[in-house]
Amino acid sequence: MRRARAAGTALVVAALGASAAGAAPRKLIGSVSDPLNISLTKSGRKVTHLKAGRYTIVVEDTASDHNFHLSGPGVDKLTSVAGKGTFTWTVTLRKGTYTYVCDPHKDFMKGSFTVS
């Protein structure tokens, strides 16, 4: 009887772990536009801190003279400066600091956030 309970408990724990591992990534919105706007938001709020894990980032690049470049531990994703469009990335954010910039205007079009 105890073995049956232990086996049942192990199956429940394994199932919970599998469902957490297969959970849909959380969604962030990156934006770069004229005149000099760049942002990263979650549910309409500026991102300053996130929990580690998988995220879907939808980047809305509406300017042909800017790009959106996200970098940090294990991540280096960017749109092209001349291109425009909507781009979707799936990334795994790890503990550390991440930055997003417009490469041609990195001195003043920038932001950052931490992941723990």
Residue 25 has a pLDDT of: 81
Chain segment 19-66, per-residue pLDDT in tens:
445 677 899 999 999 999 999 999 999 999 999 999 999 999 999 999
Residue 93 to residues 32, 33, 43, 65, 113, Cα–Cα distance (Å):
21, 24, 18, 28, 11
Output the 3-class SS for 82-113. CCCEEEEEEEEECCEEEEEECHHHCCCCEEEE
Residue 1 has a pLDDT of: 53
Residue 12 has a pLDDT of: 42
User: What order of strands is seen across the sheet that includes strand 110-115?
Assistant: 49-50, 110-115, 96-101, 69-72, 75-78
Q: Which domains does the chain have, with CATH numbers?
A: 24-115 (2.60.40.420)
Q: pTM of the full predicted structure?
A: 0.79
Chain segment 95-113, per-residue pLDDT in tens:
999 999 999 999 999 999 9
